Structure 1
Amino acid sequence: MEYCYASYFSNEEATTSTLNSEGWLRTGDICYIDNDGFLFIVDRLKELIKYKGYQVPPAELEALLLTHSAILDVAVIPYPDKEAGQFPMAYVVRKDGGSISEKQVMDFVAEQVAPYKRIRKVAFISSIPKNASGKILRKDLIKLATSKL
């Protein structure tokens, strides 16, 4: 097995905060290994929603919402809140002919998750903005949501 040494050019502080003492790279990915040894990356640490001290992974709520028969696509973002810090907000794309309401989306999630993970705001849009590789452009949605504050 070959090893290589990685570092930030002329930035020892960034190198130290990114690599641990054994040389492992801290990617910021949240993952798990199943019983068969397969690694699954399920979220990014930096994309967690901080609700009253709890950490809520948007990908978990998105996966849940995508199981609803009236939802075609979804993105969950952190929405700023003075009391909670942030709370989960969902941007939902309805399936053709679908008429799911904001309350139905919130109730669907509330029935299946802990109280701190509940969706507290819903907006309906025609499509979820994504980059060329299919990653949700959360920054664009956050900007859209907060532009109305």
Structure 2
Amino acid sequence: MAVKITEATEATEATADLVEAFERLTPQLSSSNPPPSAEALESIASSDATRLLIARSEDVIVGSLTLVLVRIPTGLRAIIEDVVVDEQVRGQGVGRALNEAALELARDAGAVTVDLTSRPSREAANRLYLRLGFEIRDTNVYRYRL
């Protein structure tokens, strides 16, 4: 399927097509987490701390990215989370469009850096991040399970 998207846009409410898209896309992102409910998507889309970006091709949502913006004592922190592009359209610029839109939003909000993490097994995504100008940080990432 050839994809044509003009830009990534911000989802500001949990529409039926947004819920359907996450039902389809979430399993491509995570095998251990269920798709978010309409209520969860509404909370994300309406939060001041998150920007839910989507990419469409012919009115079908084919990708999503969440930009987290949080004020901390050292400044505005911007973090890209949960980037997913439908496997049928990967490699056609959807991830680039989503990331470029997120970087522009972060810059406009006043952030000076944007962080993200990506599993090493996501080779194409990691190549994209490097092409976009992201640099690998010399840091440890820790997780505490509750």
Using CA pairs under 8 Å that are at least 6 residues apart, name the structure with larger relative contact order, 1 or 2.
2
- The structure number with the bigger radius of gyration is 1
Same fold per superposition (TM over 0.5):
no
Q: TM-score, normalised by structure 1?
A: 0.30
